[in-house]
């Protein structure tokens, strides 16, 4: 099994190009099934989650051609199945988007309960509630979510929790429902806006994406589309935090600085310099950043996906810091691994207290999920000696060429068998 070997001590410097947003792309690929016309998606990240989704499309009878490593042409007209297979579905969370897409197009879907990162309980009751409210019969039995609807009918849906996945899934199904759907307490992530723009370019009528009320007027048919995925704000945040933690000087290219505001604001609060210019952002690290308290929240709050990475940065801060994880019940699995590297962190419920100015030392660690894996890379970069990260498949699920990008910035990182 491949592992990542990192020798600590290098400050990252140089320029890194940010890839397309994973969490928008993983919704667009299933969403392509809502039309029978040709779909082309550009700026797709070259990551494992995308390759798995493409395998699922092929299994469902859809013709797919890679026109470049980041451009996919999809011909959804040949769709002839509505049951994505368990072996592929279990590999990623986003396979739940086949529920909304297939029931919208086909009137039925049978999707195994999805896999993905283990962040504690990850219920999908809001997805189910939304699809049922649109008039679908939804049954969960033998590990399968079965959804069936002769005709979906628009309605008002108030989400009990702000959920990215449920907002998008309901939006997909409602796009082909009869009449008007209103999603209230919707999530506002930029990826949701990007998926809405993708669908609108096909002829959908979605208004209000990016606010907490989304209004969708169903349409009978959708047309062809060519769409470019927005930049990945979480990948960008990863390199911003890596630059800050290593005391480096990194320019990120192809970003939307506005989407990075929650991260930029927190880094500036920690006395780390962040400069914005057009579609670039420059981060200049500081040997001992100021301590800070971080509370994760749905967008535009500080992203939960950067919680583990910012924890590594805070181990180097001047003073103690507190992180409160408000989105997922149990997203502190990385703490024990960081402690093995010398971090001094105490967890109580949803709160972690992080001692600053801690000397980290290289150690073998296991990537327990995608973002934790990236956090361990950053920890390895600032630790004394060698760090070996196992279970790196999690990292490759969501980061394009992370080894090459980090190495080009001066990191001593390589994949070993």
Q: How far apart are alpha carbons 2 and 195 in whole angstroms?
A: 34
User: At how many degrees (to 10) do helices 97-106 and 125-133 cross?
Assistant: 20
Residues 313-332 that bind ligand EPZ (CB under 6 A): 327-328
Which residues is 301 bridged to in the sheet? none
Which range in 116-124, 224-232, 275-283, 353-361 contacts ligand EPZ by CB under 6 A?
116-124
Identified binder of ligand EPZ from the candidate list 4, 53, 109, 117, rule CB under 6 A: 117
Catalytic residue, from 47, 92, 117, 240: name it: 117
Fill in the per-residue mask, 87 to 106: x = in contact with ligand EPZ (CB under 6 A), - = not in contact: ------xx------------
Told to judge if 403 belongs to the known catalytic residues of this protein, a careful annotator would answer no
123 binds ligand EPZ (CB under 6 A): yes
Which range in 75-83, 143-151, 162-170, 261-269 contacts ligand EPZ by CB under 6 A?
162-170
User: 396 and 356 in contact (C-beta within 8 Å)?
Assistant: no
297 binds ligand EPZ (CB under 6 A): no
Which range in 66-74, 164-172, 386-394, 405-413 contacts ligand EPZ by CB under 6 A?
164-172
Question: Containing H/E element for 18?
Answer: none
Q: Three-class SS string for 148-163?
A: ECCCCECCEEECCCCC
# residues contacting ligand EPZ (CB under 6 A): 25
Q: Residue 353 has what DSSP assignment?
A: E
Q: Residue 359 has what DSSP assignment?
A: P
Which range in 118-126, 215-223, 246-254, 315-323 contacts ligand EPZ by CB under 6 A?
118-126
> Minimum distance between the CB of residue 159 and ligand EPZ, rounded to whole angstroms?
8
User: 131 and 170 in contact (C-beta within 8 Å)?
Assistant: yes
> Minimum distance between the CB of residue 283 and ligand EPZ, rounded to whole angstroms?
21
Residues 339-398 that bind ligand EPZ (CB under 6 A): 370-371, 398
> Minimum distance between the CB of residue 2 and ligand EPZ, rounded to whole angstroms?
20
> Closest residue to ligand EPZ, Cβ-based?
165
Structure tokens that stand for 178 in this block: 């009869």
Residues 181-240 that bind ligand EPZ (CB under 6 A): 187
Q: Say which residues have a Cβ less than 8 Å from residue 225's Cβ, sequence separation at least 6.
A: 35, 37, 39, 40, 198, 201, 202
Q: How far apart are alpha carbons 26 and 398 in whole angstroms?
A: 10
- The torsion defined by the Cα of 228, 29, 119 and 326, in degrees rounded to 10, comes to 50
> Minimum distance between the CB of residue 273 and ligand EPZ, rounded to whole angstroms?
27
Structure tokens that stand for 171 in this block: 């939006």
User: 208 and 200 in contact (C-beta within 8 Å)?
Assistant: no
Provide the annotated active-site residues.
Answer: 117
Chain residues in the site for ligand EPZ (CB under 6 A): 22-23, 26, 93-94, 117, 122-127, 161, 163-166, 187, 304-305, 327-328, 370-371, 398
């Amino acid at each position: 099994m491949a592992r990542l070997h990192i020798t600590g001590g290098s400050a990252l410097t140089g320029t890194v190009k940010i890839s397309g947003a994973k969490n928008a792309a993983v919704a667009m690929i299933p969403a392509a099934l809502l039309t029978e016309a040709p779909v082309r998606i550009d700026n797709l990240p070259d990551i494992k989650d995308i390759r798995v989704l493409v395998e699922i499309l092929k299994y469902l009878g859809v013709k797919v051609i890679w026109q470049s490593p980041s451009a996919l042409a999809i011909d959804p007209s040949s769709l002839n199945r509505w049951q994505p297979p368990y072996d592929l579905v279990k590999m990623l969370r986003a396979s739940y988007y086949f529920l909304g897409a297939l029931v919208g197009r086909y009137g039925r879907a049978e999707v195994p309960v999805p896999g993905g990162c283990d962040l504690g309980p990850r219920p999908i009751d809001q997805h189910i509630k939304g699809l049922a409210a649109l008039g679908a019969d939804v049954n969960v039995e033998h590990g399968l979510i079965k959804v069936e609807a002769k005709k979906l009918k628009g309605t008002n849906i108030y989400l009990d929790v702000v959920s990215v996945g449920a907002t998008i899934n309901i939006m997909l199904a409602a796009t082909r429902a009869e009449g008007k759907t209103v999603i209230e307490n919707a999530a506002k992530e930029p990826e949701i806006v990007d998926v809405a723009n993708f669908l609108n370019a096909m002829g959908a009528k979605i208004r209000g994406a990016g606010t907490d009320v989304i209004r969708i007027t169903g349409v009978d048919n959708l047309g062809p589309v060519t769409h470019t995925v927005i930049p990945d704000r979480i990948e960008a945040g990863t390199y911003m935090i890596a630059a800050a933690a290593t005391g480096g000087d990194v320019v990120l290219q192809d970003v939307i600085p506005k989407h990075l505001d929650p991260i930029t604001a927190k880094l500036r609060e920690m006395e780390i310099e962040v400069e914005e210019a057009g579609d670039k952002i420059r981060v200049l690290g500081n040997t001992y950043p100021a301590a800070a308290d971080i509370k994760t929240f749905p967008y535009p709050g500080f992203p939960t996906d950067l919680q583990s990475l910012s924890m590594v940065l805070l181990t180097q801060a001047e003073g103690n810091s507190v992180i409160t994880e408000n989105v997922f019940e149990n997203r502190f699995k990385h703490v024990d691994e960081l402690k093995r590297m010398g971090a001094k962190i105490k967890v109580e419920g949803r709160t972690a207290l992080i001692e600053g100015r801690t000397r980290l030392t290289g150690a073998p660690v296991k990537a327990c999920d995608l973002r934790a894996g990236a956090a361990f890379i950053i920890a390895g970069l600032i630790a004394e000696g060698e760090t070996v990260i196992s279970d790196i498949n999690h990292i490759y699920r969501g980061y394009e060429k992370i080894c090459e990008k980090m190495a080009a910035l001066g990191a001593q990182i390589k994949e070993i068998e």
